[in-house]
Amino acid sequence: MAKLYFYYAAMNAGKSTTLLQADFNYRERGMETMLWTAALDDRMGAGTIGSRIGLTADAHRFEKDTDLFARIGMEHEARPLDCVLVDEAQFLTERQVEALADVADRLGIPVLCYGLRTDFQAQLFPGSAALLALADALVELKAVCECGRKATMNLRVDGEGRAVAAGAQTEIGGNDRYVALCRRHFFDRLREAEERAVEAA
């Protein structure tokens, strides 16, 4: 039976690299895949999944109103799919996650989603919350904090490397805007940002 998987981690844990490796493994065996990524993340170019080690692949782009079940179903009729892979899965809506569960349950296609669990304020993204609730399998990929412990949190930083404690949940960026930290150091840096904000007020 096909399953819905959620591979989650902090920034810089190799989520996109792992997705591209899984895609390569399927295609190397002559199997058909369909790749998706968030339209709002164009760091590597529109409709491109890219990793920090230089691997890239073209992908379909999803927006908040994209009907994933319909789009994947049409593709599946044109060429039977063996796997669907979704990058930046934290940006999915709850309805889209439900649609991906239907892809696994009703179309019999495994769906592998990769994304962040929490934002820069340690809050769940909507897509991640839905995946944590509905996925058949949850897999944590490992990133490393500057102290050597497992990094589970994503700290947003400004141009000078100082922690940012407030702002919109979604702000696209890489190493220039985010640092992966363990929980202890994440909250230490976040408190420093909050104290700066109080002093400046």
Identify the pLDDT of residue 174. 59
Check whether 172 has a pLDDT greater than 70: no
Predicted TM-score (pTM) of this structure: 0.88
Check whether 45 has a pLDDT greater than 70: no
Identify the pLDDT of residue 12. 82
For the chain, list the domains and their CATH numbers.
Answer: 4-143 (3.40.50.300)
Identify the pLDDT of residue 42. 62
- Per-residue buried b or exposed e for 26-52, using 16+ beta carbons within 10 Å of the residue's own CB: beeeeeebbbbbbbebeebeeebbbbe
Q: Annotated active-site positions, please?
A: 88
Closest CA to 126 of 141, 116, 139: 116
Report the distance separating Cα 55 and Cα 131, nearest Å.
26
Per-residue confidence band for 13, with pLDDT thresholds at 50, 70 and 90: confident
Identify the pLDDT of residue 201. 63
